[in-house]
Amino acid sequence: MIKETNQLEIKINNVLDENEDLRERLGLNLKEELDLNEFQRSKVLKQRPYKAENQILLNECLEKERLELKQNIRAVVKD
């Protein structure tokens, strides 16, 4: 448990260091908090088409599987 906590702390520190470096490169104030609401909304909007496509593909796969099972049941009933 302690080992996992230490590894997570190292990862957090690495992310914070990377964030600081990127802010410096962009000329942003290191102490200023950024409003991420717009970024998060944009991210959600970008993901919507992919989620919709995944849902369609999942439904198609489930329908195909349903038909195969139905055919298997009919074949078992015939025998």
DSSP labels, 42-56: HHHHHHHHHHHHHHH
pTM of the predicted structure, to 2 decimals: 0.52
Quote the mean pLDDT of the chain: 93
Distance between CA atoms of 31 and 38, rounded to whole angstroms?
Answer: 20
Helices and strands (H and E) in the chain: how many: 2, 0
Beta carbons of 30 and 24 less than 8 angstroms apart: yes
Instruction: Give, in degrees to the nearest 5, the angle at Cα 42 between 22 and 24.
Output: 10
Q: How confident is the model at residue 34 (pLDDT cuts 50, 70, 90)?
A: confident
Beta carbons of 23 and 30 less than 8 angstroms apart: yes
Percentage of the residues of the chain whose pLDDT score is greater than 70: 100
